[in-house]
């Protein structure tokens, strides 16, 4: 499905990003596995892909840094010569109620989750415009759609990603580039592991499908949007949340 395509996945050392990298590679794409701090885990993802006969390379870069992102794309080009699919997945949380939320907590989440996506899309757009085609998929969140107490910074960043997705879908559409978002609900990863039990139970109660999502649920939605099968879909936010918001 993605043979001869090159995919760059940010934050692919762990969690949802890792599964997206493995899934896109499984469909035939060569993958740039970006990580920030978890080198060993990123190397493990690359080993799994190459062991299965695929092509992948791990590249360290902090997506919040313009220099870091420009280096990331340079290494991507050196490794595989093009980027057809960009998945902006890297993300962090620094939760606090508004009265307690520090400026640092606000800035850190905006810089990684929103500015990081902006910086990567800027680099990808340059390449994809020349290539006259491409797929950009932004991993937003249900929190950016319905809000979540204690996450003013995260909700703003994730809602911002949806706005930026629509802006770029309009800017880049005439050149065969689609830009979409995937908004996961409650997915089992290290990010949600650290939530208090009471919050997890509360979230599960709101899910009509009565289970937390698995990383594979998100990865398959991303693979669809990255494929030719989704060539007439742009500017959309695909909610993958077990029916949590409808
Ligand atoms: P996770 O398990 O905490 O993994 C986060 C990933 O992001 C790691 O690979 C991490 O890399 C990377 N990362 C963090 N800061 C980075 C930076 N500055 N530069 C580059 N990479 C960075 O999180 P997850 O649950 O898989 O979440 C993945 C995405 O889905 C996030 O955008 C998150 O907001 C979104 N999401 C998750 C859920 C959920 O329920 N889990 C729900 C909605 C949306 P290192 O370890 O190498 O630093």
Q: What is the pLDDT of residues 61-105, one digit of tens each?
A: 999 999 999 999 999 999 999 999 999 999 999 999 999 999 999
Q: List all residues 6 or more positions away from 168 whose beta carbon is below 8 Å from its beta carbon.
A: 121, 125, 136, 179
pLDDT at 172: 98
Say if 192 falls within a structural domain: yes
Closest residue CA from atom 34 of ligand 1: 91
Q: What is the pLDDT of residue 194?
A: 87
Against a cut of 0.75, is the pTM above it? yes
User: Is ligand 1 within 6 A of the CB of residue 16?
Assistant: yes
Residue 233 has pLDDT above 90, yes or no: yes
Residue-level pLDDT at 224:
98
Per-residue pLDDT tens digits for 172-222? 999 999 999 999 999 999 999 988 999 899 999 999 999 999 999 999 999
Among protein residues, the one with the nearest Cα to ligand 1's atom 32 is 91
Cβ-contact 184, 241 below 8 angstroms: yes
- Report the interhelical angle of 116-131 vs 66-80 (nearest 10°): 40
Is residue 148 within 6 Å of ligand 1 at its C-beta? no
C-alpha 106 – ligand 1 centre gap (Å)? 16
Is 147 within a domain? yes
pLDDT of residue 136: 99
CA of 93 relative to ligand 1 center, distance in Å: 9
**Bridge partners for 31 per DSSP:** 7, 56
Atom of ligand 1 nearest to the CA of 65: 18
Residue 191 Cβ contacting ligand 1 at under 6 Å? yes
| Nearest CA residue ID for atom 46, ligand 1 | 38
213 CA → ligand 1 middle, Å: 15
Average pLDDT, stretch 224-233?
A: 98
**Residues known to be catalytic:** 154
Model confidence at 13: pLDDT above 90: yes
Give a yes or no: residue 57 inside a domain. yes
25 within domain boundaries: yes
Indicate which CATH number applies to the domain containing 142.
Answer: 3.40.50.720
Look at the chain and report how many structural domains it folds into: 1
Our measurement of the distance from residue 192's CA atom to the centroid of its chain's CA atoms, rounded to an integer in Å, reads 16
pLDDT tens column, 101-153: 999 999 999 999 999 999 999 999 999 999 999 999 999 999 999 999 999 99
Ligand 1 and 88: CB distance under 6 A: no
Mean confidence (pLDDT) of the chain: 97
Domain contains 1: no
Question: What value does the mean pLDDT take over residues 162-166?
Answer: 99
Domain extent at residue 187: 6-240
Counted residue by residue, the chain has a size of 246
What spacing in Å lies between the alpha carbon of 246 and ligand 1's midpoint?
Answer: 25
The answer to whether position 73 is within a domain reads yes
In a domain, 70, yes or no: yes
Instruction: For residue 208, report the distance from its CA to the centre of ligand 1, in Å.
Output: 25
pLDDT band at 246 (very low <50, low <70, confident <90, very high): very high
* 246 located within any domain: no
Q: Please report the pLDDT score of residue 75 as a whole number.
A: 98
């Amino acid at each position: 499905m993605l043979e001869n395509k090159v995919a760059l996945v940010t934050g692919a050392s762990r969690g949802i990003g890792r599964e997206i990298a493995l899934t896109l590679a499984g469909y035939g794409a060569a993958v740039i596995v970006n990580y920030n701090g978890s080198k060993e885990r990123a190397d493990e993802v690359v080993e799994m892909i190459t062991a299965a006969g695929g092509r992948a390379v791990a590249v360290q870069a902090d997506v919040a840094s313009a220099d870091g992102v420009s280096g990331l794309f340079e290494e991507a080009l050196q490794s595989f010569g093009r980027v057809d699919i960009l998945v902006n997945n890297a993300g962090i949380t620094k939760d606090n109620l508004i009265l307690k939320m520090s400026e640092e907590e606000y800035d850190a989440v905006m810089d990684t989750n929103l500015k990081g996506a902006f910086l990567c899309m800027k680099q990808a757009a340059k390449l994809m415009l020349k290539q006259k085609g491409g797929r950009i998929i932004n991993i937003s969140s249900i929190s950016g759609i319905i809000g979540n107490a204690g996450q003013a910074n995260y909700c703003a960043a994730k809602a911002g990603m949806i706005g930026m997705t629509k802006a770029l879908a309009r800017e880049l559409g005439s050149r065969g580039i689609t830009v979409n978002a995937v908004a996961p609900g409650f997915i089992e990863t290290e990010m949600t592991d650290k939530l208090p039990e009471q919050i997890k139970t509360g979230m599960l109660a709101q899910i009509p499908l009565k289970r937390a999502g698995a990383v594979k649920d998100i990865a398959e939605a991303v693979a669809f949007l990255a494929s030719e099968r989704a060539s007439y879909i742009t500017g959309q936010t695909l909610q993958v949340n077990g029916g949590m918001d409808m």
